[in-house]
């Protein structure tokens, strides 16, 4: 607690041109502010945020020996940092500043009620001053960050992220549970849209990894245990390697697996009904048959069948293999039965056009029902039946080979990774990002990122892009060497804490945990992981948790001013 000192509060009320002064009586608000206890200085500014306004704050602090500053103006969203800095520059701890929003939440919303708006502004200023009285000087906490990263999964995303981080100067620990790097790419023949050999790309990448002394590869190993928080994760491996690692950041790149279409289209019974991935292998091993009619069926198990989502990459995969088969078997008829080809962008649209020109036949059926309606063995052929919407009748193709394009689904062990790192999975089973648009490769938990098909099905180009993005995001705290946390973190009254663990459960950032202290279980906060959201504080029934800068007394004082 701070020493008892004489409180000297300065209040600055902004006109915001006409934005505030046009809709409420600012001089009246100022006069009112002068009557509030401990307020020793009040100033109306045309624009508190202008250079002149800022200077007035900076001059008033020493002149009137202000030890609390209240600005009543626009919104803290854009202007709090500016006013805090003015306080700091004038020698006042920036947490002794209080923002009162009388524009966005007052003048703008009550533009036709001048008197009421003025009264509300007075209420808001009184509340702000009440809170300001109880503010305490606080310091931001700096926590050092280990300059190394753990990457879970050695597929194309994991390898790309590893190479990018190494290029940026960081140590990388790349953990892969199989005996070789490459993930799903190991089973792929060629890559669209350049029709480049997947094996050649893999060899090139493996070679780069081997030549990169900053990348440490752990094959046939898995992450067993993770502890800690951004900057200071302790990791234990299991399997072939049992190393213990210290890392500052973690990238999850565990990939996905193809859905196996059991009991669909007699896949488990008929030999010539295969999945896309089985076809890849046949093409890779050059074990294709002399098929005369080949049918690709899209969305087998996807788009509302076994999984609800669209798997994004299967359309392009089918086109790629259809084109390859077209070259190998120039006389064969090749059909792709689909529910709307997902060949987005410039390059993929061109790719599908080429396939059409080369004679691959596209048959579009309705979405929302199974792509093909029947598949039976008849006279040694596979009769694929489907409803043609344009012709309004069922058609059949007698095929020699049926290729089922099945979706990528989350790996079985994703749940374990999710629990290990305390990061969420979405409804579709894939890892859940902090914000779908603006933080697409971040987890909400600081210091943990994701890339590739563990996030959602993605092709090679997309995996690489995401991996580089994740590497960029992970590099930020490592390049800085520290993370700074705002001192809004909770303080725990260990006498009151019953160790019930509710705060641990409600914390979305994994920043609360239970520890043994003096023979009792009590909650403890990890400042580096904490966002100061207050979920723990508000859910503690024993009132053992007090949030920095948002202590109960501070909030209650504000509420008291308006309800009494």
Of 100 and 352, CB closest to other proteins: 352
Paired tokens of 388: 């043609």
Quick one: which of 201, 297, 397, 492 contacts other proteins (CB under 8 A)? 201
Return the range that interacts with other proteins (CB under 8 A); candidates 61-69, 136-144, 434-442, 488-496.
Answer: 434-442
Of 195 and 244, CB closest to other proteins: 195
Quick one: which of 59, 142, 227, 367 contacts other proteins (CB under 8 A)? 367
Paired tokens of 136: 């305490």
Of 70 and 341, CB closest to other proteins: 341
Quick one: which of 101, 318, 466, 554 contacts other proteins (CB under 8 A)? 466
Of 20 and 273, CB closest to other proteins: 20
Of 287 and 435, CB closest to other proteins: 435
Binding mask 483-522 toward other proteins (x if CB under 8 A, else -) reads ----------------------------------------
Element (H, E) at 469: helix 460-480
Return the range that interacts with other proteins (CB under 8 A); candidates 24-32, 161-169, 246-254, 535-543.
Answer: 161-169
E strands in 420-556: 448-450, 482-485, 490-492, 512-517, 520-525, 545-547
Are 10 and 44 contacting, i.e. CB atoms less than 8 angstroms apart?
A: no
Paired tokens of 116: 């009421």
Task: Establish if 167 lies at the interface with other proteins (CB under 8 A).
Answer: yes
Are 405 and 300 contacting, i.e. CB atoms less than 8 angstroms apart?
A: yes
Return the range that interacts with other proteins (CB under 8 A); candidates 5-13, 468-476, 519-527, 541-549.
Answer: 468-476
Q: How far is the CB of 334 from other proteins (least distance, A)?
A: 19
Residue in the block written with tokens 């409420």: 24
Return the range that interacts with other proteins (CB under 8 A); candidates 131-139, 206-214, 274-282, 459-467.
Answer: 459-467
Return the range that interacts with other proteins (CB under 8 A); candidates 112-120, 209-217, 258-266, 363-371.
Answer: 363-371
Of 426 and 499, CB closest to other proteins: 426
Say how far apart CA 67 and CA 221 lie, in whole Å: 58
Return the range that interacts with other proteins (CB under 8 A); candidates 45-53, 137-145, 220-228, 244-252.
Answer: 45-53
Measured in degrees and rounded to the nearest 5, phi and psi for residue 55 equal -60, -40
Task: Establish if 47 lies at the interface with other proteins (CB under 8 A).
Answer: yes
Task: Establish if 23 lies at the interface with other proteins (CB under 8 A).
Answer: no
Task: Establish if 359 lies at the interface with other proteins (CB under 8 A).
Answer: no
3-state secondary structure of 21: coil
Task: Establish if 270 lies at the interface with other proteins (CB under 8 A).
Answer: no
Q: How far is the CB of 427 from other proteins (least distance, A)?
A: 8
Task: Establish if 344 lies at the interface with other proteins (CB under 8 A).
Answer: yes
Task: Establish if 341 lies at the interface with other proteins (CB under 8 A).
Answer: yes
Of 420 and 467, CB closest to other proteins: 467
Quick one: which of 34, 366, 415, 543 contacts other proteins (CB under 8 A)? 366
Say how far apart CA 249 and CA 144 lie, in whole Å: 12
Q: Contacts with other proteins in 285-324 (CB under 8 A)? A: 303-304, 308-310, 312
Say how far apart CA 27 and CA 45 lie, in whole Å: 10
Burial class (CB in 10 A: 0-12, 13-18, 19+), 336: buried
Residue in the block written with tokens 């245990």: 225
Quick one: which of 437, 516, 518, 519 contacts other proteins (CB under 8 A)? 437
Q: Contacts with other proteins in 397-426 (CB under 8 A)? A: 426
Task: Establish if 19 lies at the interface with other proteins (CB under 8 A).
Answer: yes
Residues in a beta bridge with 396: 385
Q: How far is the CB of 503 from other proteins (least distance, A)?
A: 28
Q: Contacts with other proteins in 64-103 (CB under 8 A)? A: 77-78, 81-82
Q: Sign of the CA dihedral 313, 319, 325, 327?
A: negative
Task: Establish if 181 lies at the interface with other proteins (CB under 8 A).
Answer: no
Number of H helices, E strands in the chain: 14, 30
Are 61 and 41 contacting, i.e. CB atoms less than 8 angstroms apart?
A: no
Quick one: which of 41, 218, 348, 509 contacts other proteins (CB under 8 A)? 348
Quick one: which of 13, 61, 456, 522 contacts other proteins (CB under 8 A)? 456
DSSP symbols for 395-455 = EEEEESEEEE-PPEEE-TTHHHHHHHHT--B-TTSSB--SBTTTBTTB-SSTTEEE-GGGT
Quick one: which of 377, 480, 513, 531 contacts other proteins (CB under 8 A)? 480
> Quick one: which of 278, 289, 300 has its CA closest to 409?
300
E strands in 114-183: 141-144, 148-152, 171-175
Q: How far is CA 529 from CA 117, 147, 231, 480, in A?
A: 40, 17, 9, 17
> Quick one: which of 127, 186, 126, 136 has its CA closest to 156?
186
Residues in a beta bridge with 10: 41, 69
Task: Establish if 476 lies at the interface with other proteins (CB under 8 A).
Answer: yes
Q: How far is the CB of 157 from other proteins (least distance, A)?
A: 12
Quick one: which of 84, 173, 455, 551 contacts other proteins (CB under 8 A)? 455
Of 68 and 455, CB closest to other proteins: 455
Say how far apart CA 496 and CA 523 lie, in whole Å: 10
Of 62 and 169, CB closest to other proteins: 169
> Quick one: which of 293, 292, 296 has its CA closest to 278?
296
Paired tokens of 559: 């509420």
Task: Establish if 373 lies at the interface with other proteins (CB under 8 A).
Answer: no
Return the range that interacts with other proteins (CB under 8 A); candidates 65-73, 284-292, 466-474, 488-496.
Answer: 466-474
Q: Contacts with other proteins in 383-402 (CB under 8 A)? A: 389-392
> Quick one: which of 118, 137, 136, 135 has its CA closest to 33?
118
Task: Establish if 109 lies at the interface with other proteins (CB under 8 A).
Answer: no
């Amino acid at each position: 607690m701070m020493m008892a000192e004489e409180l000297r509060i300065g209040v600055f009320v902004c006109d915001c041109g006409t934005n505030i002064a046009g809709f409420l009586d600012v001089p009246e608000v100022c006069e009112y502010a002068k009557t509030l206890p401990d307020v020793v200085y009040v100033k109306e500014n045309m624009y508190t945020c202008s250079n002149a306004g800022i200077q007035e704050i900076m001059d008033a602090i020493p002149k009137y020996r202000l030890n609390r500053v209240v600005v009543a103006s626009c919104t803290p969203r854009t202007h709090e940092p500016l006013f805090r800095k003015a306080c700091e520059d004038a020698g006042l701890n920036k947490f002794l500043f209080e923002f009162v929003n009388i524009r966005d939440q007052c003048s703008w919303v009550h533009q036709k009620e001048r008197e009421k708006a003025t009264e509300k502004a007075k209420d808001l200023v009184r509340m702000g001053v009440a809170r300001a009285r109880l503010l305490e000087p606080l310091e931001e906490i700096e926590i050092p960050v280990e300059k190394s990263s753990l990457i879970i999964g050695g597929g194309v995303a994991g390898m790309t992220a590893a190479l990018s981080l190494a290029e940026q100067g960081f140590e990388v620990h790349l953990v892969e549970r199989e005996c070789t790097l490459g993930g799903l790419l190991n089973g792929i023949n060629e890559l669209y849209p350049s029709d480049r050999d997947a094996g050649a790309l893999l060899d090139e990448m493996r070679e780069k990894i081997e030549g990169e002394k900053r990348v440490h590869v752990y094959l046939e190993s898995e992450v067993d245990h993770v502890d800690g928080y951004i900057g200071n994760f302790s990791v234990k491996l299991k399997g072939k390697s049992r190393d213990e690692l210290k890392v500052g950041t973690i990238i999850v790149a565990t990939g996905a697996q193809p859905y196996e279409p059991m009991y669909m289209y007699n896949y488990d019974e008929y030999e010539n009904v295969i999945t896309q991935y089985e076809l890849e292998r046949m093409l890779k091993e050059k074990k294709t048959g002399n098929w005369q009619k080949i049918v690709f069926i899209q969305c087998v198990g996807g788009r509302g069948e076994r999984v609800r989502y669209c798997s994004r990459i299967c359309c392009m995969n089918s086109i790629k293999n259809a084109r390859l088969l077209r070259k190998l078997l120039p006389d064969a008829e090749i059909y792709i039965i689909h529910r709307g080809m997902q060949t987005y962008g410039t390059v993929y649209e061109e790719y599908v056009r080429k396939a059409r020109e080369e004679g691959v036949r596209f048959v579009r059926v309705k979405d929302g029902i199974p792509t093909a309606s029947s598949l039976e063995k008849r006279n040694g052929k596979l009769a694929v039946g489907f409803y043609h919407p344009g012709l309004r009748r069922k058609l059949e193709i007698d095929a020699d080979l049926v290729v089922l394009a099945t979706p990528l689904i989350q790996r079985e062990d994703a749940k374990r990774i999710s629990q290990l790192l305390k990061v969420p999975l979405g409804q579709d089973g894939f890892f859940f990002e902090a914000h779908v648009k603006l933080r697409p490769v971040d987890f909400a938990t600081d210091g943990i990122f994701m890339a590739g098909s563990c996030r959602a099905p993605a092709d090679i180009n997309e995996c690489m892009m995401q991996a580089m993005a994740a590497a960029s995001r992970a590099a930020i705290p490592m390049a800085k060497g520290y993370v700074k946390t705002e001192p809004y973190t909770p303080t725990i009254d260990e006498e009151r804490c019953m160790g019930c663990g509710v705060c641990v459960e409600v914390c979305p950032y994994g920043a609360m945990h239970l520890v043994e202290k003096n023979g009792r279980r009590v909650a403890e906060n990890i400042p580096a992981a904490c966002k100061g959201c207050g979920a723990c504080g508000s859910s503690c029934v024993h009132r053992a948790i007090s949030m920095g800068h948002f202590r109960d007394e501070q909030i209650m004082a504000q509420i008291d001013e308006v309800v009494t």
